[in-house]
Amino acid sequence: MNYFLQQILNALGWGSILALLAAGYTMTFGIIGLVNFAYGEVFMVAAFAAYFALTIFNLPYWMALLISLISAIVIGLVIEKIAFKPVRRAGMITLFITSLGASVIIRNLFIMLFDAKLKNFKAPSSLKGVYLLGDLIISKKNILIFLITIILCTVLVYLVKNTKLGIAMRSISYDSQIAETLGINTERTIIITFIIASFIGGIGGILWGILFGSVRASMGAIPVIDAFIASVIGGVGNVFGAVVSGYILAIGSAFFIAYLPPELVGAKPLFVWIVFFIILIFKPSGLFRANIK
């Protein structure tokens, strides 16, 4: 039983980051039906900006946070402006290819400029160490990441459910043309959605750096796919569902590794896809109610 609980506690940090990413992902997915592969690059750029601010320029932590969030938002908006806005009406597949293209461009640009190696990310020293709860070990990092995620996701769920902005977002996801005739500024709402999503992605990137202590140019590749799958499982556009599915996927992967024989540990990437196919075959609308038609 302790072993079981320990797996959950270990997966908490990664699960929280995945939940954040899925929450950010599902917002743009819900509002314009965009499968944004470049979201992983927003996440990566934020982590890199924080890394440069901390390691190269030796800035204090709050400033690094600010810089990295600003760069995440800027890169998110640039991607939206260049790759998505001109083809928004051309259908999901075109959007999918342009997002894949944008993702490949940014990732390889970073590999080109700053090589593909792992880079050490300085985590604050106050976060080192663990707490002991009886037999269980829980690291301080995981607690911090979990708290930040819960707070941000609560705010996000409230925002989408109860505020005027959230209602505008949901109305656009139902039918953007009708929403426009009813006096909703579609362009502005989409931009704000992108800003929020990039902000969340940026936080995710910094937390990743703190959790794993390293960043690299291809770090966005796997989280973005996991976040996509989590947002499908959670019901497209449903922030709460995405958060819960993010935790389900991360904790499930942890169990997958913990309880299977060691030869199969390399098969970890299969887990999320197996879940994805099972969900799409048996419950295509996701575990939770989707926020779009």
Partner 1 sequence: MGFEKKIIIVKYILGTGLFFVTFYLLEKLLSGFWLTLFLLFGINVILAISLNVINGWIGFFSIGHGGIMLVGAYTAAFLTLPPSFKEGILDLHLPDFILNIQLPLLPALLFGGISGVIAGVILVLPALRLRGMYFCAGTLGFNVIMTTIAENLPDITNGAMGLRQFPSYTNIWWVWGIAVFLIYITLMLKKSYIGRAFISIGKDQDLAEHMGINLLKYKIYAFSLSAFFTAIGAILWVHLILNLFPTAFGIVLVFEVVAMIVIGGMGSVSGSIIGAAIITLFMEILAPIEEGINIFGLYVPEMLGLTTVLLGVLLITVLIKKPEGIMGEREISLELFKRKIN
Positions that interact with partner 1 (CB under 8 A):
33, 35, 82-83, 86-87, 90-94, 96-98, 100-102, 104-105, 107-109, 111-112, 115-116, 225, 228, 232, 263-264, 266-267, 269-270, 273, 276-277, 280-281, 284
Cβ atoms of 287 and 233 closer than 8 Å = yes
Nearer to partner 1, 147 or 274 (CB): 274
CA dihedral 211, 217, 219, 222 (to 10 degrees): 180
Nearer to partner 1, 4 or 273 (CB): 273
Cβ-based neighbour number of residue 118 at 10 Å: 12
Nearer to partner 1, 47 or 226 (CB): 226
DSSP state of 260: S
Give CA separation, 55 vs 59, 74, 88, in Å.
8, 21, 39
Cβ atoms of 245 and 231 closer than 8 Å = yes
Structure tokens at 110: 């970073």
Nearer to partner 1, 111 or 159 (CB): 111
Structure tokens at 279: 């969900």
CB 214 to partner 1: min, Å: 19
Rg (CA), the chain: 19
Nearer to partner 1, 87 or 147 (CB): 87
CB 135 to partner 1: min, Å: 32
CB 187 to partner 1: min, Å: 18
CB 60 to partner 1: min, Å: 33
Nearer to partner 1, 101 or 124 (CB): 101
CB 36 to partner 1: min, Å: 11
DSSP state of 56: I
DSSP state of 88: G
CB 262 to partner 1: min, Å: 11
* C-alpha dihedral sign at 166, 170, 173, 176: negative
Alpha-helical regions (H) of 117-163? 140-162
